Chain A
Amino acid sequence: MKNQYNSSRRRFLKGMALAASGVIVPGFAPARAKALITKPIPSSKEHIPVIGLGSSRTFNVGNDPLGLDNVAEVMHHFFNAGGKMIDSSPMYGSSQPAIGYGLKKLGKMNDVFSADKVWTWNSGLGSEQMEQSRQFWKVDSFDLMQVHNLVEWEDHLKTLYRMKQQGKIRYVGITTSHGRRHDELEDIMKSQPLDFVQFSYNVLDRVVEQRLLPLAMQRGIAVIINRPFQRGDLIEELEDKPLPKWAATIGCDNWPQFLLKFVVSHPAVTCAIPATTQVEHVKENMAACLGLLPDKTMRIRMIDYVENII
């Protein structure tokens, strides 16, 4: 499954590349030294780093003081490397209070780009759940609130649009994962004034390149990518395989950077949100925010290489 764009999409792609000039440049033109690679949110032109931080599983540590301190340590290195967006959900157990613990400990409540979700089948409880989430995070308000896995999306989106109008959130989004319910998501993206959409994408699972990513570009919707490592499975499969020498030309020293740069170099992708419990991993991931991003030719080479060795 190769990356294919039709001519109109190519024109749009070019426009996006120009908008992000200095970030994605065909032919590997260098980005500013040590400058973080950022991309604009189409609806506001606000730039955010292309690597964020997910919290599914990894930050769900309950009341474990060691676990909470480890979360704070991971967040410390994330922020130190210039990271902004942290993503969570009420579905992720104690991840939200853990993030709040880290933000308070690090004094970063005003620096984080806070992305959370509403996840309840009782749409009347959505506002209450979001307020509970806000208190867990210890932030004044969320930057981005998303409908989790399309759950009761019609009602929740109405609530989110109202909250955006009232200034309680800045962006509205919707999410899915594991490649599920793409047809419904596509219809929503076509009909709703979304700021963000979130779904799964990685070097092996590229089905979203067919319709969802081009549609996001056409509609001016920012794209967050979850599961860039297939929940760690890709890393496990690749860790014993040799990284190609040419990976160095796009600033990749290891497989996580290779996989992340592949994901965020798609012109429609705004950022990826890998999750980790380890400081070394968050450093590796954030290093994918530096240097060069592959262009279309290099992306095809990356796909071919990975498909041949797995």
Chain B
Amino acid sequence: MGELASYRLSDFILFSQAAYYRQFEFYNQAIWPLHIVAIIFALIIFYTLWKKPFWAGRGVALLLVVSWIWVAWAFLYQRFYQIHVVADWYALGFILQAGLIVWYGLIKKRFTQLSESRLGVKIGTGILFVALVFYPFIAFIVGRSWTQFELFALSPDPTVLATLAILLLYKASVALYVIPVIWILLSAITQYAM
């Protein structure tokens, strides 16, 4: 395996920007009308953070778990893996993150206390707004076909961003940040290398 060290990450980005975003277009066509479910997920998250029902923490954790597993299976493994030879490893990472959220948010029930830091709340809310509301419009804003939109719970980037926001709002354990931060780095490198 020593040869692996001679590779750079960009050596594995062997697809064009056009091919990458077309994956989202076909994915969106294939999974319709699950987008409605994803929007309901987003609305539930906003509701729980606003109204703080007793089940808020577990509810949010459950939605995140379902989202991470779905993205791992339906997008990363079924779709992205077609053009990206390491996307199966990405999918495994997403499953692992889902497991961590199960352990932390559902078994340990640690999503209970919202952050009291005004800065933390502001940053978390801002990221959450970007992930759940703004992100789907990016494709259209930057001039790509609107059909290539990326939605929370269905596509990796907005799902990871929303998760980071929720981790910030609930002041979650550092361990839960590792995979989302790695993903953001990978996603940034991919965007740069394409």
Residues on A lying within 8 angstroms of B by beta carbon are 56-58, 60-64, 66-67, 90-95, 121, 149-152, 178, 180-181, 277
Verify B4–A121 contact, CB threshold 8 A: yes
Partner of A94, one of B1, B6, B82: B82
Q: What size tier do the contact residues of chain B reach?
A: 20 to 34
Q: List 24 A-B contacts (CB under 8 A).
A: A56-B14, A57-B14, A57-B16, A58-B16, A60-B83, A61-B83, A62-B26, A62-B83, A63-B26, A64-B22, A67-B18, A67-B22, A91-B12, A93-B14, A93-B83, A93-B85, A94-B83, A121-B1, A121-B4, A149-B6, A178-B11, A181-B3, A277-B16, A277-B18
Residue of B nearest to A180 (CB): B6
**A64 contact set on B, CB distance < 8 A:** 19, 22-23, 26
A62 to B84, CA, bound (A): 9
Q: Which of A63, A90, A95, A150 has the largest number of chain B CB atoms within 10 A?
A: A63
The yes or no answer to B35 lying at the interface (CB within 8 A) is: no
Asked if A67 meets B19 with Cβ closer than 8 Å, knowing A91-B14, A178-B11, the reply is yes
The yes or no answer to B110 lying at the interface (CB within 8 A) is: no
Partner of A181, one of B6, B23, B26: B6
Q: Which of B14-41 contact A (CB under 8 A)?
A: 14-16, 18-19, 22-23, 26
**A94 contact set on B, CB distance < 8 A:** 82-83
Closest CB in chain B relative to A95 CB, distance in Å = 8
Verify B14–A62 contact, CB threshold 8 A: no
**B79 contact set on A, CB distance < 8 A:** 62
A308 to B13, CA, bound (A): 32
Verify B14–A92 contact, CB threshold 8 A: yes
Residue of A nearest to B4 (CB): A121
**A63 contact set on B, CB distance < 8 A:** 26, 82
Closest CB in chain B relative to A146 CB, distance in Å = 15
A44 to B3, CA, bound (A): 31
Verify A93–B3 contact, CB threshold 8 A: no
Residue of A nearest to B84 (CB): A93
Residue of B nearest to A97 (CB): B82
**B6 contact set on A, CB distance < 8 A:** 149, 180-181
Verify A149–B85 contact, CB threshold 8 A: no
Residue of A nearest to B81 (CB): A93
Q: Which of A58, A62, A95 has the largest number of chain B CB atoms within 10 A?
A: A62
Say what secondary structure dominates the interface of chain B: helix
Told that A60-B14, A62-B82, A149-B6 touch, could you supply 5 new A-B pairs with CB distance under 8 A? A62-B26, A67-B18, A94-B82, A94-B83, A180-B6
A214 to B46, CA, bound (A): 67
A152 to B7, CA, bound (A): 14
Residue of A nearest to B16 (CB): A57
A121 to B6, CA, bound (A): 13
A58 to B19, CA, bound (A): 9
Closest CB in chain B relative to A235 CB, distance in Å = 15
A180 to B8, CA, bound (A): 11
A60 to B82, CA, bound (A): 8
Closest CB in chain A relative to B89 CB, distance in Å = 14
**A181 contact set on B, CB distance < 8 A:** 3, 6
Verify A62–B19 contact, CB threshold 8 A: yes
Residue of B nearest to A61 (CB): B19
Verify B22–A61 contact, CB threshold 8 A: yes
Verify B16–A121 contact, CB threshold 8 A: no
A66 to B85, CA, bound (A): 21
A293 to B96, CA, bound (A): 56
**A152 contact set on B, CB distance < 8 A:** 3
A215 to B23, CA, bound (A): 44
The 4 closest A-B pairs by CB, nearest first: A62-B82, A93-B83, A60-B15, A62-B83
**B1 contact set on A, CB distance < 8 A:** 121
Residue of A nearest to B82 (CB): A62
Partner of B22, one of A62, A95, A178: A62
**A62 contact set on B, CB distance < 8 A:** 19, 22-23, 26, 79, 82-83
Closest CB in chain B relative to A108 CB, distance in Å = 23
A93 to B79, CA, bound (A): 11
**A90 contact set on B, CB distance < 8 A:** 85
**B23 contact set on A, CB distance < 8 A:** 62, 64
Closest CB in chain A relative to B60 CB, distance in Å = 33
**B85 contact set on A, CB distance < 8 A:** 90-91, 93
**A95 contact set on B, CB distance < 8 A:** 14
**B83 contact set on A, CB distance < 8 A:** 60-62, 93-94
